[in-house]
């Protein structure tokens, strides 16, 4: 199999802005603490799968209300798919291709996403190395997505360490799902476009 990785597209921030606006309309009346653009498309200059990753941040007691609002807006709930405090949703077929997650404020799942994003935005060397690795892997025939995830594992652990996550936190991220990848850009779409259902952020 080949993983589709494309050069950074300067239109991705505008695509996220459109998704953000659509989600805020859907979630009107619910206390949302933030809507975060995460994954590789959120890092200027970084090659990525051309799918926008979005975390809707709420407190634990707002997860059910946020889920109901997204379902009413045409999103299909997929559950946590093995990642605590992060529920995945299949997006409607209209609008930009996207992965949408409802994440609990302060959770390791959210801190994981933000740590990878923020470190790659500010650390040029790690960004260059990670982008080069992704492009090499995209040009390689792989057995499956697990092979792609596994080939990035050591560098992603280095990124998380640079972000200040502790050994315990990094072990927990890996231990929740042995195939877990801290970059949601790796996630096959949990949605309706026929790709494999999984999330590995």
SS (H, E, C) the chain: CCCCCECCCCCHHHHHHHHHHHHHHHCCCCCCCEEEEECHHHCCCCCECCCEEEEEEECHHHHHHHHHHHHHCCCEEEECCCCCCEEEEECCCCCCCEEEEEEECCCHHHHHHHHHHHHHHHCHHHHHHHHHHHHHHHCCCCCCHHHHHHHHHHHHHHHHHHCCCCHHHHHHHHHHCCCCCCCHHHCCCCCCCCCCCCCCC
Task: Please report the pLDDT score of residue 182 as a whole number.
Answer: 58
Of 123, 124, 114, 151, whose CA–CA distance to 135 is shortest? 151
Domains of the chain: 12-186 (3.30.460.10)
14 Cβ partners below 8 Å, 6+ apart?
none
pLDDT in tens, the chain (201 residues): 788 899 999 999 999 999 999 999 999 999 999 999 999 999 999 999 999 999 999 999 999 999 999 999 999 999 999 999 999 999 999 999 999 999 999 999 999 999 999 999 999 999 999 999 999 888 888 767 777 777 788 899 999 999 999 999 999 888 765 544 556 655 544 433 322 222 333
State residue 183's pLDDT score: 65
The angle at the Cα of 167, spanning 150 to 152, to the nearest 5 degrees, equals: 15
Question: How far, in Å, CA of 88 to CA of 67, rounded?
Answer: 10
Return the pLDDT at 103.
98
Confidence (pLDDT) at 3:
82
The pLDDT, as a whole number, for residue 148 is 77
pLDDT for the residue 116: 96
């Amino acid at each position: 199999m080949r993983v589709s990785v494309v050069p950074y597209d300067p239109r991705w921030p505008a695509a996220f802005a459109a998704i953000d606006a659509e989600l805020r309309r859907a979630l009107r009346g619910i206390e949302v603490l933030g809507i975060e653009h995460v994954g590789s498309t959120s890092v200027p200059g970084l090659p990525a799968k051309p799918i926008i990753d979005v975390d809707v941040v709420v407190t634990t007691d707002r997860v059910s209300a946020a889920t109901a609002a997204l379902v009413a807006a045409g999103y299909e709930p997929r559950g946590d798919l093995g990642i605590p405090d992060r529920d995945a949703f299949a997006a409607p077929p209209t609008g930009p291709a996207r992965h949408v997650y409802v994440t609990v404020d302060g959770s390791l799942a959210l801190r994981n996403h933000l740590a990878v994003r923020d470190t790659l935005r500010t650390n040029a060397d790690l960004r260059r190395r990670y982008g080069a690795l992704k492009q090499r892997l995209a040009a390689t025939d792989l057995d499956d997505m697990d092979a792609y995830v596994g080939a990035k594992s050591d560098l992603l652990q280095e990124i998380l360490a640079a972000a200040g996550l502790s050994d315990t936190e990094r072990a927990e991220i890996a231990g929740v799902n042995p195939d877990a990848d801290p970059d949601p850009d790796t996630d096959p779409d949990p949605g309706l476009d026929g790709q494999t259902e999984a999330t590995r952020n």
